[in-house]
Structure 1
């Protein structure tokens, strides 16, 4: 008789839809953290990682050197996100661990949210909704609740990846003039999308809306700070739908509070969950939402499916579907 092969072990850091959990269970011995709205405690993750072959994680988990070194049998880390700055990819690579992400499937949904955040900020939707709900809406007056026009305005996109390109298509429906700044200039996209290239300072000076859609890295840390905010128009709006840490939040607070720029729309923060006493949340000209860029049912399921595919393929001797470092 042959030796029976024991199933690979994986750990899942958040509760998933039942059908995706069932699919993983067909291939692996699955253990998971089952509290849907609370991240797995670090001490729990350090203990669970010791004897698993694969990790299904979220952007809420910091998969650093300590975690990776504790995972003596770890072969694949499947991150349910496009970005992976929560993972020490260099250490993972040095230890022969494949890191994967979930690109492409969330492009259109995140573009929807970015443009919705732009519109909500321009027209003060959350501020005025709160006013109505509190019973503070008085008589109509000519300049009451006035916002900024979107139609025909200038949109500056910082980071022209797939999501940025998708936002351009939405902006063109509003006949917006679109400028972009990217680490690498994309001349083919300029004619294809009818957009113009600008250096960062020039873009900030000209844009009515400055939209951040670039990945976080040491180079992009506090890319938008006091100096950059001072370049923007007084009626300009900053939108961050990429990653926290790209904007210096202290500088942004002062710029907004002092009327140096008109408003901001934020989906991401340096600390998440953002503290409820954060100064930015005290400002009526900040539209703030809790990191919901990819939060549609269809997209989140697609992300979970792709992360599962990466584990299934990567731990069964095949090439992971979307690796960001090692190619199995």
Structure 2
């Protein structure tokens, strides 16, 4: 009998599905955003699960899954929805899809950085309101030339962001994290403490994973340490930022502007205050949303499963 694989959504790019079907019996849940209960109803008896949304895969989930489950593979770089220690404790292999989405997410970081710095959303609002002015001091923004850019979390995505911003004549890159990195040295970036990064940076870009250390990291205290002209960009996870603190910092001009691909809550309700602030550029988590990247993610998540079922190391194993 072929191994049985459950895919938790019906909008997975075909690259991964076609690969799995070469060696497995594939079950696809026929909805784009199934609930935890929807998945658990059909999961027992499957050898692997291809996770496409942020299902909370914890001890209770695994208890309900049954003993046949051998591989969990999530079509994402982040894995804060997976209880990785518990999954591994049960002898189940677990993988994700980093690297393949780094370039696309880095492009979004650059997009948000430029849009927030140059006040494009605010400018569009002025156009719609018929309030365009001709004077030379109108709607002046910030620029990357000669600036200090701080990266919070110099992982694969953080490194990809630095590489793209190097062409903008940035004067200095700094980063913070657990330790100094060889990749940082190679990029000419300087390892500093978080406080130093906040005090020095004209642009603060968050590309760190969500964990107990980073959850709620950006609060009133953090924003108060930043420059008045600072542009804050988050392409990581919304819960790294305390939303009310960010709203306050933008409303009070504690910082200059923000560019957000991720929010807390996510998605924001249409009447949310953050969407009413002219110096906040907010988009609905489009980081990896390109045709090529989603195909690559699907294929990699599927290859993780095949490798795990065949007793081989996963492409990207946690």
Decide: shared fold, TM above 0.5: yes
Worse-matched range after superposition: 176-185 or 163-172: 163-172
Separation in structure 2 between the aligned mates of residue 20 and residue 162 of structure 1, nearest angstrom: 23
Matched, 1:111 2:106: yes
Counterpart selection for 2:259 from 262, 265, 276 = 265
Partner of 1:3: none
- What residue is the counterpart of 1:182 in the other structure? 177
- Offset at 1:183? 1.1
Contact 1:205 1:233 in 2 (8 A): yes
Distance in 2 between residues matched to 1:205 and 1:218, nearest whole Å: 24
Does residue 22 (structure 1) correspond to residue 18 (structure 2)? The answer is yes
Q: Secondary structure at the match of 2:240?
A: coil
Superposed CA RMSD: 1.8
Aligned-pair CA distance for 1:19: 4.4
Gaps of at least 5 residues in structure 2 are none
Match of 1:11 in 2: 6
Specify every segment of 5 or more residues in structure 1 that has no aligned partner in the other structure, as ranges.
1-5
Determine which of 16, 29, 35 is the counterpart of 1:33: 29
Distance 2:124 2:7 in 1: 38
For the pair 1:298 / 2:292, whether they are aligned, the reply is yes
| Other-structure match for 1:149 | 143
CA drift of 1:46 comes to: 1.7
CA contact (8 A) 2:216 2:239 kept: yes
CA distance in 2, matches of 1:230, 1:59: 35
Q: Is the 8 A contact 2:307 2:314 kept in 1?
A: yes
**Match of 1:319?**
313
| 1:173 alignment partner, SS class | helix
Paired residues, number: 315
Going from structure 1 to structure 2, the CA distance change for 1:60 and 1:275 (only over 3 Å counts) comes to farther
TM-score (norm 1): 0.90
Q: Alignment partner of 1:202: what SS? A: helix
1:195 is aligned to 2:173: no
Alpha-carbon shift at residue 20 of structure 1 (Å): 3.2
**SS of equivalent residue, structure 1 residue 50:** coil
Runs of 4+ in 1 over 6 A off after TM superposition: none
Is the partner of 1:170 in helix, strand or coil? helix
Secondary structure of the corresponding residue to residue 161 of structure 2? helix
Which of 148, 162, 182 is matched with 2:156 structurally?
A: 162
Cα deviation for residue 120 of structure 1 reads 0.9
CA offsets per residue over residues 96-152 of structure 1, 9 Å max, x none?
1111011211122211111111011111223323443x3535443323332112211
Structure 1 position 195, deviation (Å): 2.0
Q: Secondary structure at the match of 1:310?
A: helix
Partner of 2:85: 90
Equivalent in the alignment of 2:283: 289
Kept after mapping to 2: 8 A contact 1:59/1:84 = no
Corresponding residue SS for 1:287? strand
**Partner in structure 2 of residue 57 of structure 1:** 51
TM-aligned CA deviation for residue 167 of structure 1 = 1.6
Higher alpha-carbon deviation: 101-110 or 312-321: 312-321
Determine which of 134, 138, 147 is the counterpart of 1:140: 134
1:238 corresponds, among 232, 242, 264, to: 232
